[in-house]
Structure 1
Amino acid sequence: MRDKPLAETHVNQPGELLTVPIEVQISVSAYVKLGEPALLEEIATLLHTINHVQELQQAATHHPGGDPLTDLTDLAGTLERLSIEILARTETGNPELLADPAVAHIATTMAALGLGMGEPSLVCRGQALTILHKATGVAGVDLLPDLARVVRGCHRHDLLHTLGALRGALRRLLLVDDQPPSTTQAHDLLAASIVLSRALPGERDVDTSLHTEAERHLAAEFHAEQLADLYRDLMDLPAEESGLNPRERKLAALKASMFYKDGGSTPRYLDMINAAALLELNDGEHEEAEELFSLAFTTARSDAHLPQQVGAVIGLVSLYGGSGQNHRAEDLLITTIAENPVHTLDTALDKRAYALALTELSRLHRANGKIGPAEKLEAEAAAVLRDI
């Protein structure tokens, strides 16, 4: 244990020589016990220098040939090198380094220095180191929003080594934290894992494990409305933020919905499939749309979820109608109506779905010149709706 936090170190007066105060020396002795004396002595000295960045600038200004920017650039380079060294040490058996207050101090300074110098990669490294430090003592889900944001930043600047460390931290958080995530946190979790998968393609086995863990959390916690929010968020998230193109975002949202099915909400699961299929249809991806609509239709039919079955049928009607296969669309509607007699329907939602199927079939009949059957179907639909 350290006797005093680094925040209580001696502050030099202007003109006083920079020396390593006794508190930092005590901290160094603690580091030696961790097995990293050379690296951590350098860190301790650097921390003291960091406390006097302003003095460093003033000294450079008052001496001939002094260049504050050069001094700060040198300091930034040293900080970056040390951050990489710290991450390397933690990956090779000394994770205690990340828990030390010295790491938090270095991380904060890196981020601030990066902002002041206009160096976004330095900011990202500092923020990543802050997250890694916090991950040693904070509940995992509490860090997800910040972690997802930092992951995206590091990905933009190709900081692969830092991304590797963040991925390790994310996996550890998920393993030790049993607190279920909120909607926003689960979205951050999924987004971060997807970005990591794209940024570090050489280690798919790890990424698969990460996705599985993310999906386990999603399936365990989400209610239907929350999942709908997640789906909408994934659709609205800019491509550069999510690391996904539009098609990948659809599939990610659909994947989340499929895992939610295991949580017991089959109707919501089917709603999500129908929504994903409609997106595919709008994008001209007819084969993918047909596959998804057919899956929704078959599942809804076998599990007796009429609203979702009708939604899938209408999607297939749009698909088949555009390819000259109206007879297939009619057959699906006729089957749906015949298998669900109105007198067996108990809920208003089911009755509305039934009326919608009647109306859709009447529209197809009119398009094919079958005016009489169409009018009969429309009258029946109106009667069903009046009775609701």
Structure 2
Amino acid sequence: MSFQIPRGTQDILPGEAEKWQYIEQMARDICRRYNYQEIRTPIFEHTELFLRSVGDTTDIVQKEMYTFEDRGGRSITLRPEGTAAVVRSFVENKMYGTPNQPVKLYYMGPMFRYERPQAGRFRQFVQFGVEALGSSDPAIDAEVIALAMELYHSLGLKKLKLVMNSLGDAPSRKAHRQALIDHFKGRISEFCEDCQSRLEKNPMRILDCKKDRDHELMETAPSILDYLNDESRLYFEKVQLYLTKLGIAFEVDPRLVRGLDYYNHTAFEIMSEAEGFGAITTLCGGGRYNGLVQEIGGPETPGIGFALSIERLLAALAAEGITLPVAQGIDCFIVALGEKAKDESVILVNKLRQSGMKVERDYQDRKVKAQLKAADRLESAYVAILGDDELEKQVIAIKNMATGEQTEVSLHSFVQYMKTAVESK
């Protein structure tokens, strides 16, 4: 019987995994500079958490969650996104009471959604995201967006578009909600079942429908920007002002609503405009969620964050022809000839590794020529050759594979010689 990987998942093999590690390290370094600290939450949570936070009118909750009942009869869901779990932890661990506010967090890990697999979209995918909880200053909205843009720019992406909207505060959304109901209700029968069910529950979600996005009523739908009260309008203008001062270009799109119910005020997406990237251009999405902490049982606490897919980031890099500077090759390959030399090579390899070098030796009892070919395939910077004769003389031959230069050093000074040679490359 043969086994195959489940549909919508992928194996990340050696050679590809190094790209992931590079991106992850870049994200961690940028978060360190912005003073965001890592948080790690469980891969599964109680289903009610996502019902209350993500919203029961969203596609995620209605169609995409991996939900099961455990042996205790509890409904458990594999996390479909990261914000709800972070906010749950923020409330449960009373992080709102810590002296350093706002609480600035980042996460990285697998998420799960049952949706049709396609290029750059998987049923198990990895998200990197940040959450800033405890500040209603529009400057932190700009900071969160700047952090996302810096990650993309640091990796070399240039063909990006930042799109923004304001979803307003509660009074603004209430006025806009009624305007949307009035706009759509006369012809709602022309829309899909999802849109029909959302008309009264959450009409703004109609604007996010993929099936009916070309319907003529979509183009003439009331804009949230026309219903912003003074407070919401000034807030959005301030966010735009800060982005302009930071030199971050953006477009305002009043139809941008995002796919999660917990957003209000600032909402944004970063898209790839690279030729041939594909129909789904969104790389990153986020926004402000001032009522989410209360919804999950905490005190009134404003928050803002974003999440991005590592898979789609890699696809964007490929679309722009960007090769990450991932280190290839090893520092040294030790070729051993003779039983005593082989025994000694085990010790030498360990000493070099303990000194911080990337080192390999033969484990298949191959001839010298085959060992040298193995060193070449591994792109070894140096080859050290040790035979029984050299062992008796307490020396070892070292060849620089780039220049062809060969030298002989004592076994006593071999580790220090190699360390100096590798560091000076």
Higher relative contact order (CA 8 A, sep 6+): 2
Q: Same fold (TM over 0.5)?
A: no
TM-score (norm 2): 0.19
TM-score (norm 1): 0.21
Bigger fraction of residues in strand: 2
Bigger fraction of residues in helix: 1
